[in-house]
C-alpha cells in the first residue's frame, strides 16, 4: 500500500471515529471487555499501547474477537516493536516520537502510521520522507492549540492527532481545528474503572465523548 493509500485508509477510519482511546492494559483479560465497552459507546478505533506486557496479546485478543473494531498499536519505539505489532495483527501503528530509522521502517510497512512529533523540526523530518499524518504528543505541554495553529502555516497539507492532555474540557478546541483529524485520550479508560471492571462506566464515557464530538463536527 502506498503512503497516500495508507493515509486515505487512516482518514476514513478517523473520520468515522475521531476520538481514539489510548489504552494501557494491566492484564490481557481486560482487552476484549474493554474494547466491547468502548465500541458500545460508539468508539470503533482504539490504540492499545505497548507500555505493559499485556499490550501485544491484548491486540491479538481484540483482533480475534471483535472484527468491527479497528485496533492499532501505540508506544511503538523500535523497529523490533514495529515488527512485533504487525505479527500481532495491529491495523495501524502509532509512535510517541520519531527517529529516522523508525520512520523509515514505518513507511516501508504495510500499515497506516501516525508517527509522533512535538516540534516543527520533527515534523519536517517526516514531511521530507513523504508523510502528512502525525501524532502530536505530548500535545498540551508542547504548545497545544497554539502550536497546531502555528503548524498550519508551513505545513498546511498536514493533519494531526493530538494526544497528551486532551480532555472533555478542551476537546472542542482541538477538534475545531481544521488540521486536526482526531484526538487521542486516556480519560476514556480511567484506571479505577479498569480495576473494578466497571465497563458500563467506560461505555458512558465513550457515549459522552461521541456526543460532544458530533456536536463539534456538525455544529
Higher pLDDT, 217 or 92: 92
- Beta bridge mates, 184: 20, 163
Residue 213 lies in a domain: no
Residue 217 lies in a domain: no
Residue 211 lies in a domain: no
When the pLDDT of each residue in the chain is averaged and rounded to a whole number, the result is 96
Give tens-digit pLDDT for 36-54. Answer: 999 999 999 999 999 999 9
CATH number at residue 106: 3.20.20.70
Q: Which residues of 43-67 are buried (b: 16+ CB within 10 A; e: fewer)?
A: bbbbbbbbeeebbbebbbbbbeebe
Domain boundaries, position 161? 3-202
Asked if 135 is an active-site residue, the reply is yes
Residue 19 lies in a domain: yes
Residue 23 lies in a domain: yes
Give tens-digit pLDDT for 54-71. Answer: 999 999 999 999 999 999
Domains held by the chain: number: 1
Residue 1 is predicted with a pLDDT of: 79
**Mean pLDDT throughout 147-156?**
97
Give tens-digit pLDDT for 128-147. Answer: 999 999 999 999 999 999 99
Residue 30 lies in a domain: yes
Looking at 47, 60, 122, 140, which residue is catalytic?
47
**Mean pLDDT throughout 83-101?**
97
Residue 218 lies in a domain: no
Residue 208 lies in a domain: no
Asked if 47 is an active-site residue, the reply is yes
DSSP annotation of 154 reads T
Q: How confident is the model at residue 219 (pLDDT cuts 50, 70, 90)?
A: low
Q: How confident is the model at residue 190 (pLDDT cuts 50, 70, 90)?
A: very high
State how beta strands 116-117 and 133-136 pair: parallel
Residue 218 is predicted with a pLDDT of: 57
Q: Hey, is 136 helix, strand or coil?
A: strand
Looking at 60, 122, 135, 140, which residue is catalytic?
135
Residue 4 is predicted with a pLDDT of: 81
Q: Distance between CA 149 and CA 147 in Å, rounded?
A: 5
Q: Distance between CA 34 and CA 208 in Å, rounded?
A: 16
Amino acid at each position: 500500500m502506498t503512503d497516500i493509500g495508507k493515509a486515505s485508509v487512516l482518514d476514513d477510519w478517523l473520520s468515522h471515529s475521531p476520538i481514539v482511546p489510548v489504552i494501557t492494559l494491566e492484564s490481557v483479560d481486560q482487552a476484549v471487555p474493554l474494547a466491547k465497552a468502548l465500541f458500545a459507546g460508539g468508539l470503533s478505533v482504539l490504540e492499545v499501547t505497548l507500555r505493559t506486557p499485556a499490550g501485544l496479546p491484548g491486540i491479538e485478543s481484540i483482533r480475534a474477537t471483535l472484527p468491527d473494531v479497528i485496533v492499532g498499536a501505540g508506544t511503538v519505539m523500535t523497529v523490533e516493536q514495529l515488527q512485533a505489532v504487525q505479527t500481532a495483527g495491529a491495523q495501524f501503528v502509532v509512535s510517541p516520537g520519531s527517529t529516522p530509522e523508525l520512520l523509515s521502517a514505518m513507511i516501508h510497512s504495510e500499515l497506516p502510521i501516525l508517527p509522533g512529533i512535538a516540534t516543527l523540526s520533527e515534523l519536517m523530518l517526516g514531511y521530507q520522507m513523504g508523510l502528512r499524518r502525525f501524532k502530536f504528543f505530548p500535545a498540551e505541554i508542547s504548545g497545544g492549540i497554539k502550536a497546531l495553529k502555528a503548524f498550519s502555516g508551513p505545513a498546511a497539507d498536514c493533519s494531526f492527532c493530538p494526544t497528551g492532555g486532551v480532555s472533555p474540557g478542551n476537546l472542542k478546541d482541538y477538534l475545531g481545528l481544521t488540521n486536526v483529524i482526531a484526538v487521542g485520550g486516556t480519560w476514556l479508560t480511567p484506571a479505577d474503572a479498569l480495576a473494578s471492571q466497571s465497563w458500563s462506566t467506560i461505555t458512558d464515557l465513550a457515549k459522552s465523548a461521541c456526543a460532544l464530538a458530533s456536536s463539534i463536527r456538525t455544529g
